[in-house]
Amino acid sequence: MSSSSSEEEKEQELQQHFTIRAVGGTEYSWCKAVPGGTGITVLGLLLSKPPHIPKLQTVLRNLQSNHPILRSTIHFDSNANSYHFRTPPTSNIQIHCLDLQSTSAILGCSSGDGDTDFHLILEHELNLNKWRDPSGDGYGVLCVSVYAISERRWGVFLRLHTSGCDRAAAVTLLSELLVKVGCVGESNGEAEEKGMGMAIEDLIPVEKRNKPFWARGLDMLGYSLNSFRLGNLEFVDADSPRSSKVVRLQLDAHHTRQLVAECKSREIKLCGALAAAGMIAARASKKLPSYQKEKYGVVTLIDCRSLLDPVLSSNHLGFYHSAILNTHDVCGETLWDLAKRSYMAFANAMNCNKHFSDMSDLNYLMCKAIENPGLTPSSSMRTALISVFEDPIIDESDNIHKEIGLEDYVGCASAHGVGPSIAIFDTIRNGKLDCACVYPSPLHSREQVQELVDHMKKILVDACNI
């Protein structure tokens, strides 16, 4: 028997037990990005009650049964230079448990402070990259670890490959997990998904898919030329190996209400204010003359589930976000002037369907930056100053949190490969704004980013007190 026929029989036998689907264009770009350090999504939960591991295992297996992509592995086909999801018929999750000694070894000199240690473990998880070698035998989309942080604090961390779980999917996953573990309330996502689902490119409405050849060429040229003119947050160390670090921007309930109300009165969304505050703070950090303009790039991410054909429910897991890249000249504007201009540029691009028509262009440029870091300033792989989401996550589930002893949680993704200088993951939790700001270190230092975030907070608060 020839080797080719043997391979075919092997593949046929495999397909009898596994569901196999080739990745789409956007999923492919994330498969290219994750080995370099961008797109490792982490959900971290800080608990004051010890998690019941057998129950947690059962809940996770149920989630994998309801959402096939969570039990999938990602495989690289070197012959086709592409990736595919391979989904077994049953759950396969195993929880990695670390005792106090193992956790302390990871933390090094532990502070003994639950909040600080939780933050350090979050950063540790963001930089655990089992997907670094794309030629491996395949690695699961989801892995779970439980850390004993102290005698009275535990951390539960879910680490996911972004090609299989965008931010909206992560929120659904977290919601279902908390409800099932706490046995309180009703889940929003009990429906079982049938099969792996389709890539976002296959669900774009037909009338919004096509883009004339010359228009595509002009847009690609425009994106490329603009990238050379973009200002950046100053680089501290562009040569050393990088990792993702996190700084949090938090507002109290009073200032959050004021900020949301001010945005609503100006008919803009919170993303416009966050992006504007980031641009103003970045320009101020350079101590430039008052007359000198800086051009900054802003990437806004959109959950497209409600815009697809057919429409997908919010509990449909996978990657169904698109992005719009806008550039803005900044020179002494007030927060609200720049926020209005930034948001209207985004809204106009949405009205022109650029979130769909430019999808393949941005994916292509992302992959080119990964393959040719030298095309970016100082080989930094920075494609924009800041990234924001069109809408924040709204969470009012405090009763479930108390039931399971949940003291804090953070959801974000790594960004030290290709990406912005600051990636903002915003949540309004029980009326309070909480943003995880992810940045590449040591390209930017913690002191530098903390100062920037503190200035952003001051800009937002001052603008609400006028």
Provide the domain count of the chain: 2
Domain extent for 75: 17-182
pLDDT score at 149: 94
Give 3-state DSSP helix, strand, coil % of the chain, rounded to 5: 45, 25, 30
> What is the rounded distance in angstroms from the CA atom of residue 383 to the CA atom of residue 243?
17
171 and 261: one domain?
A: no
pLDDT at 14 over 60: no
116 and 46: one domain?
A: yes
207 and 127: one domain?
A: no
List pLDDT tens digits, range 156-180: 999 999 999 999 999 999 999 988 8
Q: Which of 182, 213, 236 is the last residue of a domain?
A: 182
139 and 207: one domain?
A: no
Query: Which CATH number is 317's domain given?
Result: 3.30.559.30
Q: Which of 126, 156, 182 is the last residue of a domain?
A: 182
254 and 325: one domain?
A: yes
Q: Which residues contact 233 (CB under 8 A, 6 or more apart)?
A: 282, 285, 385, 421, 422, 444, 448, 452
Query: Which CATH number is 45's domain given?
Result: 3.30.559.10
Which of 94-108, 194-208, 243-257, 443-457 has the weakest average pLDDT?
194-208
212 and 109: one domain?
A: no
10 within some domain: no
147 and 227: one domain?
A: no
Confidence (pTM): 0.92
Q: Give the CA angle between residues 370, 372, 378 to the nearest 5°.
A: 100
Q: Which of 148, 182, 216 is the last residue of a domain?
A: 182
List pLDDT tens digits, range 320-342: 999 999 999 999 899 999 999 99
195 within some domain: no
300 within some domain: yes
% the chain with pLDDT above 70:
87
List pLDDT tens digits, range 277-302: 999 999 999 988 888 999 999 999 99
List pLDDT tens digits, range 102-158: 999 988 864 555 678 999 999 999 999 999 887 666 789 999 999 999 999 999 999
Q: Specify the residue for token string 């039931």.
A: 403
